[in-house]
Amino acid sequence: MFDEGATVSAAGSVIPGATVKIHPNETLLTAFGYRWNRVAISFTGGYPPLATVNGAGSLATLGELGRIRYGPMVLTAQYHFTQFGRLQPYVGAGPVFLYIFKNDDGAVRDLKVRDHVGAAIQFGVEYSLGPRWSAYFDAKKVFLKTNATALLNGTPIAADIRLNPIVLGGGLSYRF
């Protein structure tokens, strides 16, 4: 779920009210980690989702500006609160890596969105189902910006884009 926005400029001048809208997208995530008592480190990545970027504000009439296939990756260090028995809440933080695999044009041409690095904070809870298995639910607030360039009716445009999504995940965990 994105908390998106953008500052868009054409030929060096900001276009008043121009911004973007990105609808939530789903993907399959996998996390690998290692835990030492209460401290853990984990790497989360997913199947590259396809995000549709639509014009908003004064760009709303353009509709779909383009599509971006991206790879979300998060590396977090976590602290687990183990005093609650089988239910173990945790908090974490770390860097986020946005890797752009492919840009597809829509209302704009020659769309190029750049890779970027941001930060994330994480809150979650793990429930032990047995000695090796647990179920978990996790929420990450990601602070991430990127830049894009394109041509709109032959005019070069540039955008500073704020993404700042909330990433919700859940699943099963197995300890080796």
Write out pLDDT tens, residues 89-104. Answer: 999 999 999 999 999 9
CA 60 to each of CA 13, 55, 56: distance values in angstroms, whole numbers, following the listed order: 19, 4, 4
Going by pLDDT thresholds of 50, 70 and 90, the confidence category of residue 157 is: very high
Cβ(163)–Cβ(144) under 8 Å?
yes
Task: Give the three-class secondary structure for 100.
Answer: strand
Write out pLDDT tens, residues 55-86. Answer: 999 999 999 999 999 998 999 999 999 999 99
Domain that holds residue 72: 5-174
Mean pLDDT of 20-30: 90
Residue 83 per-residue DSSP state = G
CA 171 to each of CA 29, 30, 35, 90, 113: distance values in angstroms, whole numbers, following the listed order: 9, 9, 17, 15, 31
Cβ(148)–Cβ(158) under 8 Å?
yes
Look at residue 25 in the predicted model and tell me its pLDDT: 87
| The two structure tokens encoding residue 139 | 């929420």
Q: Residue 83 belongs to a domain with what CATH number?
A: 2.40.160.20
Going by pLDDT thresholds of 50, 70 and 90, the confidence category of residue 155 is: very high
Look at residue 34 in the predicted model and tell me its pLDDT: 94
Tally of structural domains, the chain: 1
Write out pLDDT tens, residues 80-133. Answer: 999 999 999 999 999 999 999 999 999 999 999 999 999 999 999 999 999 999
Look at residue 72 in the predicted model and tell me its pLDDT: 85
Look at residue 12 in the predicted model and tell me its pLDDT: 86
